[in-house]
Amino acid sequence: MLGTLGRFVVRRRVAVLVVALLGMFVAGALGGGVAKHLSGGGFEDLGAESSQAKKVLEQSFGTRNPNVVLLVTTAAVDSGAATAAGIALTKELAAEPGVTQAVSYWTLGSPPPLRSNDGTQALVLATIAGDDDQVAERIKDISPRYTRPDGTVLTVAVGGFAEVFRQVSTQIEHDLVRAEMISLPIILILLVLVFGSVVAASLPLGIGALAVIGTFLVLRVLASFTQVSIFALNLTTAMGMGLAIDYSLFVVSRYREELRAGLLPADAIVRTVRTAGRTVIFSSLTVAVSLAAMLVFPLSFLRSFAYAGIAVVALAAVGAVVVLPALLAVLGRRVDTWVLWRRPVKPEGTGFWHRVALAVMHRPVAVASAVVLVLLFLGAPFLNIAFGLPDDRNLPASASSRQVQDAIRTNFTSNEASALSVVAPGSSPSAADIERYAVDLSRTPGAARVDARTGSYIDGAQVAPPNEASARFAGQDGTWFSVVPAVEPYSEAGETLVKAVRDVPSPFAVQVAGASAELVDSKASLFGRMPLALSLIALVTFVALFLMTGGILVPVKAIVVNLLSLSASFGAMVWIFQEGHLSGVLDFTATGTIATTMPILMFCIAFGLSMDYEVFLLSRIKEEYDVSGDNVSSVAIGLERTGRIVTAAAALLAVVFLAFATSQVTFIKLFGLGLALAVILDATLIRAALVPAFMRLAGDANWWAPAPLRRLHAKFGISESAGEEAPAAGPVAPREKVST
């Protein structure tokens, strides 16, 4: 089939290129503005208790937790001038379109939690109605108009969840542009160094552009039917360029190899599509499956990365197997035009990677033990991982919303904007039941205050009678309570508070919403689906590698080794970002947690990329083993023929991810640095040391399978057909693979 595809591409090369160019033009025209159709939200499980409670709170009571906070600074918050100005500011904000409610220290009767400890600052709390995108659109207009650093009586700064996530999204957009400006020139230089030819080096960039622009169109179409996160654009750019470079390196290198073996350009392309094209297809399958595993999670944030990842992998593979061979057919031997330098071709068995493989296989036990110990040492911190959700501390200290939230942490006794909402829909409780339950809630460790229809309570005692603001807790069908935390909402203490509140006996059915509740529910939702995602990845990876190799030990070894490698990367990320080592050098604030979605996202991406390199190496090893039957020689030659390619591909992909590590947003920095480290570890310690050592220890057992599986592989396994016709012209290249 692949031989037929190769011959078709050679014969119809101009038509293939015309269709590809037209497709890019259409995709660019229709998908170029995809960003404005994507969402900045998608971090909630809509079926979780906290999401359901928030929905009831909005629909039945017309309220939600404040998502806008104005930090007001003045000489004395209780002075007459400050009081008059504060009331006017609150009314002004309440009159804004989209703002459903606004209250403040001055309009609620001067409650102490809304005043700073020194009496020079007070808070205005407001709620913008709508979904994440509607809130983002309104805060974009409200924030600059209410940022008043030079007021006569009041100085005003804007914070709250709406402003934090607006600034996060804006910062990421700027960081993405900077990452592209940093990475593209470096990638081009490295490609020229790898290929030695300007023309050959430009080919992967063209395939990358095809994959990225095509994925923009796919995301634009999907956004018409479902919520797609804008953060998926980061993955589109990184994976589009990275995989296009990986696949193009493999295809172009194989094409040059076949030309050196004496084949004419047309025959070299057919042979390249049959061999390297097969490897690219298998690689893209394993990467796509790893990314598709994110579809099992209920968060549209993660599902969006699956959409983008599957599309960009598929398009990169099509570009490498169809469009790139068409380009090579047009260029012929001119692929090496504008040669800047030529790397001397060494006789087989004398290269650096061949010597490395033989050295490793000479002492496989010592090498494998040393590498495993290093990986276990790096992975040890992962045992202490603590999960959280991103908050304002993911922004740089110079961000205005971060400064507002820092001031609230330092100068105020509670976090009013992060209150838990305990909703009791469909009930008709008496005032006595409400008061008794509110008293019990206020005794919960970690609760600063409880507000209810019957007043406010602290430590089991009523501290304020009902007032005008208390009316918001009454609805036509039920009531609700506000539990203001005295602890950081996105922390272990915040989770403990949620669990304690949910455990308080209530005289009516309740649901709990709020920032800390979202953290608890998101962890339960994600980790509950994790076994299914891991099982899908392992199963499909095993099947794909078995169909390619015909053995059962090689797929098992690949999965175990890749898990070991990823645990080392995750351990390093915990050590750096959770525990705060290198925070000064990398310029971020350690929060003591790792964003819950990041390990899942990074695992699916990094596992797919590690299998990408695994397939590159195994395909050449298996090709040699089918010819010689010598396990040691096959491993050495396979590593020799792929070592340089895998190293170059890993270096180029690491540059892409390290460019993302320059982001000012901490979780994007973690994303870039973590994946860069995973790629580097995989291309060095794993491919160059651990894999050859394990394959030497296993020997011919690498390719063993029980009789039923051997029959299954004989029937369904993917291998080059014995009936594949020989090249029409030119000598047959050495080591032509035979049927198994």
Give the pLDDT confidence of 663-705 residue by residue, as tens digits: 999 999 999 999 999 999 988 889 889 999 999 998 888 888 8
Based on its alpha-carbon atoms, the radius of gyration of the chain, rounded to whole angstroms, reads 30
Statement to judge: residues 107 and 149 lie in one domain: yes
The confidence score (pLDDT) of residue 133 equals 80
Q: What is the pLDDT of residues 462-486, one digit of tens each?
A: 988 887 778 888 877 789 999 999 8
* Residue 20 banded pLDDT, cuts 50, 70, 90: very high
Residue 499 falls inside a structural domain: yes
Closest C-alpha to 420, from 66, 98, 47, 165: 66
Identify the CATH number of the domain in which residue 123 sits. Answer: 3.30.70.1320
* Residue 340 banded pLDDT, cuts 50, 70, 90: low
Statement to judge: residues 295 and 433 lie in one domain: no
* Residue 740 banded pLDDT, cuts 50, 70, 90: very low
The confidence score (pLDDT) of residue 349 equals 63
Statement to judge: residues 542 and 674 lie in one domain: yes
Identify the CATH number of the domain in which residue 590 sits. Answer: 1.20.1640.10
Statement to judge: residues 496 and 638 lie in one domain: no
Of the ranges 38-47, 128-137, 138-147, 342-351, the best mean pLDDT one:
138-147
The confidence score (pLDDT) of residue 417 equals 77
The confidence score (pLDDT) of residue 734 equals 41
Residue 734 falls inside a structural domain: no
Residue 400 falls inside a structural domain: no
Write the DSSP symbol of residue 12. Answer: T
Statement to judge: residues 502 and 536 lie in one domain: no
* Residue 338 banded pLDDT, cuts 50, 70, 90: low
The confidence score (pLDDT) of residue 345 equals 60
Residue 501 falls inside a structural domain: yes
Give CA–CA dist 254/379, Å, rounded.
36
Taking 3-state DSSP, the helix, strand and coil percentages for the chain, each rounded to the nearest 5, stand at 65, 10, 25
Statement to judge: residues 562 and 655 lie in one domain: yes
Q: Tell me which of 79-93, 242-256, 345-359, 471-485 is least confident.
A: 345-359
Q: What is the pLDDT of residues 289-330, one digit of tens each?
A: 889 999 999 988 899 999 999 999 999 999 999 999 999 999
Output b/e per residue, 165-192; b: 16+ Cβ within 10 A. bbbbbebbeebbeebbebbbeebeebbb
CA separation (Å) from 181 to 34, 397, 533, 610?
20, 24, 35, 26
Statement to judge: residues 341 and 360 lie in one domain: no
Q: Is the pLDDT higher at 398 or at 44?
A: 398
Statement to judge: residues 72 and 135 lie in one domain: yes
Closest C-alpha to 327, from 238, 255, 242: 255
Q: Which two tokens stand for residue 39?
A: 């969402």
pTM, two decimal places: 0.85
Q: What is the pLDDT of residues 420-466, one digit of tens each?
A: 999 998 778 888 999 999 999 999 999 988 999 998 899 999 988 88
* Residue 366 banded pLDDT, cuts 50, 70, 90: very high
Residue 394 falls inside a structural domain: no
Residue 191 falls inside a structural domain: no
Statement to judge: residues 129 and 108 lie in one domain: yes
Give CA–CA dist 201/643, Å, rounded.
19
Which of 345, 379, 398 is a domain's end point? 345
Sign of CA pseudo-dihedral 147, 72, 116, 422: negative
Statement to judge: residues 537 and 432 lie in one domain: no
Residue 174 falls inside a structural domain: no
pLDDT at position 726 over 80 = no
**Total domain count, the chain:** 4
End-to-end alpha carbon distance in the chain? 17
Q: Is the pLDDT higher at 348 or at 636?
A: 636
In 10 A of CB 579, how many CB atoms?
A: 14
Statement to judge: residues 254 and 375 lie in one domain: no
pLDDT at position 720 over 90 = no
Residue 658 falls inside a structural domain: yes
Determine the structural domain holding residue 203 and report its residue range.
Answer: 1-48+196-345
Statement to judge: residues 364 and 304 lie in one domain: no
